[in-house]
Amino acid sequence: MSVRWVKIGNLPVKPPWKPWEAVAYAKGQVTRPYEDYHAMCDHFVASCYGYVGSGYPTAYAHWLGIPPAHRTPDGPNPPHGALVFWKGGSSGAGHVAIVVGDRQIASNDIIRDGKIDLVPLGTITAKWGQEYLGWAQPYFLGWGKNPHPKPNVPSPYAVRARLAKLVSGLTDRIRRLRRRRRHAKNRLGKG
């Protein structure tokens, strides 16, 4: 099964980090006990894409600020690296998280206060009662550079190309071995 990544090619401003780097960064935050993202979901997703901040005051304001061409309302199957949004909460700020796997998200405060955890997409609505709005491309009015190092992960396209080359090499080797085996059988059979 092929992984579907969020597209960033048609964004007016491309984020500093690629979707697979954002996902690697988000997953890495799960094991960082010293980071505190309490009530800072929009800051967290911006940092996943290499920014210090998103440029929006709240997650809901972020959703409303994204042009309709770059968001998918009620999108049930967001691609890896997509931002997913909810409306509601006690202050009306809403919530945003990042998709890290098939219907899995990295979200702050959902299990541990101020920490990042990986949970199914439906957890925000089920636990907090917030209304799911949909998903969007990583559209930011971002400012500043994330001070943490960029994740050193290969592009999934480069990985796919390396695998194809490896498989091709193995296939060629298997053909050569079969040819040798046939040649040896033929030589033994003539003897």
Q: Would residue 164 count as lying in a domain?
A: yes
Based on the domain organization, do 94 and 185 belong to the same domain? no
The residues facing 59 across adjacent strands are none
Q: Would residue 4 count as lying in a domain?
A: no
The residues facing 72 across adjacent strands are 135
Based on the domain organization, do 163 and 117 belong to the same domain? no
Q: Would residue 29 count as lying in a domain?
A: yes
Domain count of the chain? 2
CA atoms within 13 A on the CB side of 173: 6
Based on the domain organization, do 53 and 81 belong to the same domain? yes
Contact 29, 46 (CB under 8 A): no
Based on the domain organization, do 25 and 118 belong to the same domain? yes
Contacts of 117 by beta carbon, 8 Å cutoff, 6+ apart? 30, 106, 107, 110, 111
CATH value at residue 97: 3.90.1720.10
pTM listed for this prediction: 0.80
Based on the domain organization, do 38 and 122 belong to the same domain? yes
Q: Would residue 133 count as lying in a domain?
A: yes
Q: Would residue 140 count as lying in a domain?
A: yes
Nearest to 128, CA basis, from 45, 32, 39, 62? 39
Based on the domain organization, do 34 and 69 belong to the same domain? yes
Based on the domain organization, do 67 and 138 belong to the same domain? yes
Residue span of the structural domain in which 36 resides: 19-145
Based on the domain organization, do 121 and 172 belong to the same domain? no
Q: Would residue 127 count as lying in a domain?
A: yes
The Cα angle at residue 165 between residues 160 and 168, in degrees rounded to 5: 125
The helix (run of H) or strand (run of E) holding residue 117 is strand 116-120
Based on the domain organization, do 104 and 44 belong to the same domain? yes
Nearest to 148, CA basis, from 12, 13, 34? 34
Distance of CA 99 to the CA centre of its chain: 5
pLDDT computed for residue 1 by the predictor:
43
Q: Would residue 14 count as lying in a domain?
A: no
Render 133-167 in DSSP notation, one character per residue. EEEE------EEE-SSPPP----HHHHHHHHHHHH
Q: Would residue 43 count as lying in a domain?
A: yes
Q: What is the pLDDT along the chain (191 residues), one digit of tens a residue?
A: 457 888 888 888 889 999 999 999 999 999 998 889 999 999 999 999 999 999 999 999 999 999 999 999 988 899 999 999 999 998 999 999 999 998 999 999 999 999 999 999 999 999 999 999 999 999 999 778 887 888 888 777 777 777 778 888 888 888 888 888 888 888 887 65
